[in-house]
Amino acid sequence: MYLSPPQIDPVIFHIGPLAVRWYGFMYLLGFLASYFIIRHLARRRELDLSSDQLSDLLFYGVIGVILGGRLGYTLFYNFPYYVSHPSEIFAVWEGGMSFHGGLIGVVVSTLIFCLRKQLPILLVGDILTTAAPIGLGLGRLGNFINGELWGRVTDSSWGMVFAAAGPEPRHPSQLYEAFFEGPVLFLFLYFLHRRKVNEGIVFFSFFIGYGVIRFCIEFFRQPDGQLGFLWGGATMGQLLSLPMIMVGLIGLVYCQGKRRKA
């Protein structure tokens, strides 16, 4: 006997022709949570960040997530289609966002913000990446409500039958990701803040933590239909996570080297 996902309408309510969806609402909750987490950690790490600068930082982050996430999806996951349909590249309302592209977008936009405001780049990165897991976890719950990004076929007792994926029970991989990319990763990064580690340690630990979690959970997640399995049976998510882990390891070595010199 297998489980069925709760039948939740992806649309919360309508305002005239406008549909307010759970997925978008999860993004909103994530940004609101990020505001309070960043403010708390800025005080804890003694970062002089005014209310206006915090609002600007979140604005830069939103732009980075949207532009990077969308461009990353078009490049990594469906490049041939968007080459033939360039007018649809920025049609974000049709769905299709890449975490790894969004991460690159946020890194670039935050770097620009820090240089303009003359703020310590690594410390801001530490704080910003600690706020990210809450939004990531909520986003995966949005995927679950939408009945998308389901897992591979399984015979486990907690397998779920997703209507759009056919009659076979599948891993609810969205929930796996919601748990490990959300509260687990957040608590790990917050613990590092409490240890008062060197600037940059939390930032690069996020790269390693997310990369390892995503790489492992991809073994339970059904790869994107237009791509399938790639080199050596790996998925695109796994291939993109490997350089992320490498960047994290190199960054940790660099930060530890700075500590020894100090």
**Residue where a domain stops, chosen among 119, 142, 159:** 119
Query: Which residues pair with residue 198 across a beta bridge?
Result: none
What is d(CA 246, CA 248) in angstroms, rounded to the nearest whole number? 5
Q: Is the per-residue pLDDT at 261 higher than 60?
A: no
Which of helix, strand or coil describes residue 195? coil
CA distance 25 to 57: 20
Residue with tokens 């009659």: 167
Per-residue pLDDT tens for 36-68? 999 999 999 999 988 899 999 999 998 998 889
Same structural domain, 42 and 159 = yes
Is 195 found in the same domain as 125?
Answer: yes
Does one domain contain both 113 and 209? no
> Among 143, 114, 122, 149, which residue's Cα sits nearest to residue 30?
143
Picking from 93, 119, 145, the residue at the C-terminal end of a domain is: 119
Please state, in angstroms and rounded to a whole number, the distance separating the CA atoms of residues 67 and 82.
15
Question: CB neighbours (10 Å) of residue 168?
Answer: 13
Count of domains for the chain: 2
Whether residue 237 is found in the same domain as residue 253: yes
pLDDT per residue over 6-19, tens digit each?
A: 777 778 887 877 77
How many helices (DSSP H) and strands (DSSP E) are in the chain?
A: 9, 2
Distance CA 200, CA 44 (A): 15
What whole-number percentage of the chain has pLDDT above 90?
56
134-144: per-residue pLDDT in tens?
999 999 998 89
Q: Is the pLDDT of residue 27 over 90?
A: no
Q: Are residues 2 and 20 in the same domain?
A: yes
- Going by pLDDT thresholds of 50, 70 and 90, the confidence category of residue 94 is low
pLDDT tens track for 225-234: 777 888 888 9
Residues making up the chain, counted from first to last: 262
- Closest C-alpha among 228, 185, 178 to residue 26: 178
How far, in Å, CA of 100 to CA of 117, rounded? Answer: 26
pLDDT reading at 74 higher than 90: no
Q: What pLDDT sits at residue 75?
A: 86
User: Higher confidence at residue 163 or residue 258?
Assistant: 163
Query: What pLDDT shows up at residue 217?
Result: 96
Instruction: Provide the CA 98 distance to its chain's centre, in angstroms.
Output: 8
160 & 211 share domain: yes
Q: What SS3 class is residue 166?
A: coil
Residues 93 and 55 in one domain: yes
pLDDT at 171 over 90: yes
* 31: its two tokens: 């940004």
Chosen domain end from 96, 119, 142:
119
